[in-house]
Amino acid sequence: MNVQVLGGLTSNFGELWDTSPRSLVRETCYQLFKNTSLPKSKIDAVLVANMLSSSLGNQDHLGAFFAEELGLNVPAVKVEAACASGGMAVHLAVLSILSGQYKNVLVVGVEKMTDYKPELVNKALMGAGSEGEREAGATFSSLYALMATKYMAEYKTKEEELAQVAVKNHYHASLSSHAQFKNQITIDAVLKSPMIATPLKILDCSPISDGAAALILSSDNKNSKVSIVASQSGSDSLSLSQRENLTSLKAAVISSRNAYKQAGITPEDIDVAEVHDCFTIAEIIAMEDLGFFKKGEAAKNIFAKKTWLGFGRPVVNTSGGLKAAGHPVGATGVKQVVEIFHQLNQTAGKKQVRNARIGLTHNVGGSGGTCVIHILKRN
């Protein structure tokens, strides 16, 4: 599979009161064009990942909207798969390059969430769930709390073990220049933070964020050190009530299995991974769905720092993950690939994983209705 990553960049993530989706995308992409030395006239298509601009901002048609902003008269389209919109945009960009029709594709994910009242954002986010979940008054915190409760009962997991995921991701974010939360936190701080949906406290949850992330993918490997070697996706029921199992996401299991096969590798080959830790329990489940740890063993391994920078392999969420880097929905899946690109390109700065050669991204929509997996390799 000849799909090269020519470059990747994220804006700062956070509460960006002084900016708009337009300027987030413009500034991120122009900086990227500069970094990659690719004249923008070489871009053949633009894929935009976004979830909430339609319901919150009344702005659809974001493909042409941002293509115009960037001065690109090329095919442009918006892709939406809830919180996996970014991963899906990368997936379709990969396929469009493999088709031979496009050579250089810009993928840009963006979300501006803090301009809207929390109740509006909550309502809009529940667009990723099923009608029944919305009618029952569920939120994503409560849905992941159900998964956490089941998981903890099944595998005797302690709240401290969940908390450690957040502690790790804040530690990693403290090494990043783009993260929303660069403060380190303690297990005690997580345990004492306000309860959102038992057993998840506010410090078990990813935040509401603004941000953009952009990538240029290409079939031209002249100047690239990093390739995408697998791009896979899967879907599952939107509603938790329809799942066979609450402690595993079927879409993640299937798509990661297919991705390992496509790349010709095993989970043991992964040096670094960005996974979808919208809640701490989600990262624990991801570790097992991806085959990094046996069922029921992820929490204690994370607690023992097996996935921390400088301690073990794979190192997970060096960006700070959704938890601490922030979760601007449409940008998240793109940012994951940007982070792995920089890890394999050896340009990850203070959070660099030594000799990282193979990396994986795991991007989830809703409570697991969609999962997109990418595997990247240093050339």
261 near its own copies, rule: CB under 8 A: no
130 near its own copies, rule: CB under 8 A: yes
* CB nearer to its own copies: pick between 78 and 168: 78
Please state the closest distance from residue 334 (CB atom) to its own copies, in A: 15
Please state the closest distance from residue 237 (CB atom) to its own copies, in A: 5
CA 360 to chain centre: 11
What is the maximum span of the chain, computed from C-alpha positions, in angstroms? Answer: 56
Phi, psi (deg, nearest 5) at residue 368 = 125, 10
* CB nearer to its own copies: pick between 63 and 320: 63
Instruction: Check the CA dihedral 351-353-356-359 and report its sign.
Output: negative
Q: Which of residues 193-232 bind its own copies (CB under 8 A)?
A: 231-232
In the set 91, 170, 327, 362, the catalytic residue is 327
* CB nearer to its own copies: pick between 124 and 173: 124
By CB under 8 A, the count of residues binding its own copies is 63
**CB under 8 A: which stretch of 202-210, 217-225, 235-243, 301-309 binds its own copies?**
235-243
10 Å CB burial of residue 71 (0-12, 13-18, 19+) is: exposed
Rounded to whole angstroms, the Cα distance separating 241 from 245 reads 9
Q: Which of residues 334-373 bind its own copies (CB under 8 A)?
A: 365-366, 369-370
- For tokens 């380190």, the residue is 184
Q: Which of residues 304-333 bind its own copies (CB under 8 A)?
A: none
DSSP SS3 for 279: strand
Closest of 332, 330, 329 to residue 319, by C-alpha: 332
In the set 83, 205, 278, 371, the catalytic residue is 83
Catalytic site includes residue 371: no
Provide the mask over 98-127, with x wherever binding to its own copies is found by CB under 8 A and - wherever it is not.
xxxxx--------------------xx-xx
Q: Which structure tokens are listed for 193?
A: 């933070």
Buried b (16+ CB within 10 A) or exposed e, 315-346: bbbbbbbbbbbbbbbbbbbbbbbbbbbbbbbe
Rounded to whole angstroms, the Cα distance separating 285 from 250 reads 11
131 near its own copies, rule: CB under 8 A: yes
Which residues contact its own copies (rule: CB under 8 A)? 46, 51, 54-55, 58-65, 67-68, 72-82, 88, 91-92, 94-102, 123-124, 126-131, 134, 231-238, 242, 250-251, 254-255, 365-366, 369-370
- Catalytically annotated residues: 83, 327
